[in-house]
Amino acid sequence: MEKSIFQRIIDREIPAEIIYEDSLCLAFKDANPQASTHLLIVPKKEIKSLDDISVEDESLLGHLQLVIRDLAREFELIDGGYRVITNCGAGAGQTVFHLHYHLMG
Ligand code: 5GP
């Protein structure tokens, strides 16, 4: 199966403006930002969408939430507020089929 664009970013095959990385996830700037801060938070594990998570991903998903919280603080989004979005399925606008969260503020 062909790698998704985000898997290629994780594998450093294509460039991205990477903001944060740890053993479980990567965060980088969206190439087509819809807000003054628009980051994508992506698990390194290949999961297609929110519909493909399982019980074994519970701690990974909690970890992503904490990373998002920390990035929102780092980018000083608390006062103005921010949105966290995941599009699940093409009908909802998902275009990259590797689970990701948009952080916008
Ligand atoms: P989705 O529509 O799947 O929820 O979100 C995909 C997001 O990935 C879009 O906001 C789009 O701008 C972003 N995107 C697509 N290709 C690339 C890329 O090669 N690099 C980066 N940094 N963002 C991308």
Domain boundaries, the chain: 5-104
| 96 alpha carbon – ligand 1 mean position (Å) | 7
Cβ < 6 A, ligand 1 pocket? 5, 16, 28-32, 40, 87, 93-96
Look at residue 84 in the predicted model and tell me its pLDDT.
98
DSSP state of 93: T
Active site residue 102: no
DSSP state of 59: H
Nearest CA to ligand 1 atom 24: 31
pLDDT of the chain along its 105 residues, tens only? 789 999 999 999 999 999 999 999 999 999 999 999 999 999 999 999 999 999 999 999 999 999 999 999 999 999 999 999 999 999 999 999 999 999 999
Look at residue 79 in the predicted model and tell me its pLDDT.
97
43 closest CA partner among 57, 29, 32: 57
Nearest CA to ligand 1 atom 18: 31
Q: Which CATH class, in words, describes the domain spanning 5-104?
A: alpha beta
Burial of 38-49, coded b for 16+ CB within 10 Å and e otherwise, reads bbbbbbbeebeb
Look at residue 29 in the predicted model and tell me its pLDDT.
98
